[in-house]
Structure formats: structure tokens, C-alpha cells
Amino acid sequence: MISTALLMTFPVAMAFAAANDLFTMRIPNKISLALLAAFACATAYAQLPLEQVLWHIGIGAAALVVGFTLFAFNLFGGGDAKLLAAGALWMGADFVIPYIAYITIFGGVLCAVILAYRRFVPAQSLALPGWALRLHTNGGGVPYGIAIAAAGLAIYPSTPLFLALNG
């Protein structure tokens, strides 16, 4: 029962973050903090070796630095930076490169879809909800948390932490 709850925390939190980003263009700090706390519980429960846990922490910290550097240059949202780091924490050294690659691919697809949406969907003639109008704004932000969450969900089942909790 405990292993199932810990196993499901990552996918539920990532899906919740993606939905929040889509509908509000914000990713609450509580999500990243919950992922951090759940990671600590999951690694303790799965009895991962300390060296492996420290690698995960180092990868997460490096991802946070990269994310906030992108934020400083106005290329990334603050919530995106924190979610990127929380996801990298769960991925560890062996899966952080595929995680970043998937974020890049999914982010490119997401941006292409939003650009097509902005160009081909006539927002003025449709009764769109507020979040859809926000997405329609030329030069507006992109809910990149969707790409981050999708990448995490794609890679997570292959990670040692998932396998340890599932096994």
C-alpha cells in the first residue's frame, strides 16, 4: 500500500502540474515541494544506496540552477524551473539526459500546436474560456509545464526508483 502511494505520487503530481499550467499559467510551489518530500520518502522506502540518492540530489540541484538561469533570461517560468528540477531529482543521473531530450521534443511539439492554434483558431468568433484566450494571445506564454510533465511521465517507468517501488 505504501509503495503504491509512493509510486503514484510522481505521475499524479506531474499531471496536476501540467493541468495547472494549462489552465492558470502557474505551477504551485506545493507541487514541487510535494515531489521533493515524496522523493525523500520513496528513496528511504526503496532503500536506494546513499551514493545513488546523492547523485539524484546533485542532478536535481543542477537542473534547478539551469532552470533558474533560463528564468533569469525570461526564457522559462519560475514554476517550470522548479518542476524541471523536481522531475530531474526523480530521474537521476542515468535518465536525466533522456528526460531533457523528451522535454525538448515535447516542448517543440507543444509550441508548434500553440502557434497553429493562434493562427488558425478564430478566437474572436468563438466563446472560448479564459485559459484558451490566454493561450491565443500572440507573444503570450507557453504552458511549458505540460512538456516537462509529459517527459517525466514518459521516462519515469524506466527509472530505478520506479522499478524499486514497483518490484
pLDDT of residue 122: 81
pLDDT of residue 36: 97
pLDDT of residue 129: 87
Residues of 48-71 as b/e, b for ≥16 C-beta within 10 angstroms? beeebbebbbebbeebbebbbebb
Rg of the chain over all Cα atoms, to the nearest angstrom: 17
The two most distant CA atoms of the chain are separated, in Å, by: 58
Report d(CA 109, CA 97) in Å as an integer: 18
pLDDT of residue 16: 98
Decide if 160 is inside a domain.
Answer: yes
Decide if 40 is inside a domain.
Answer: yes
Cell of residue 48, nine digits: 536506494
pTM: 0.94
- 78-91 helix and 50-72 helix, angle to the nearest 10 degrees: 160
Cell of residue 15, nine digits: 499531471
Cell of residue 14, nine digits: 506531474
CB atoms closer than 10 angstroms to residue 88 = 27
Distances (CA, A) of 153 to 132, 143, 156: 24, 16, 5
pLDDT of residue 140: 81
Decide if 124 is inside a domain.
Answer: no
Name the residue among 10, 22, 18 with its Cα closest to residue 103.
18
Decide if 33 is inside a domain.
Answer: yes
Decide if 23 is inside a domain.
Answer: yes
Q: How far is CA 57 from the centre of its chain?
A: 16
Decide if 123 is inside a domain.
Answer: no
Decide if 108 is inside a domain.
Answer: yes
What is the count of structural domains for the chain? Answer: 1
Contact 61, 85 (CB under 8 A): yes
Domain that holds residue 35: 2-112+144-166
Residues of the chain with pLDDT under 70: none
pLDDT of residue 134: 86
Decide if 126 is inside a domain.
Answer: no
- Name the amino acid, one letter, at 82: K
pLDDT of residue 113: 95
pLDDT of residue 9: 97
Contact 8, 23 (CB under 8 A): no
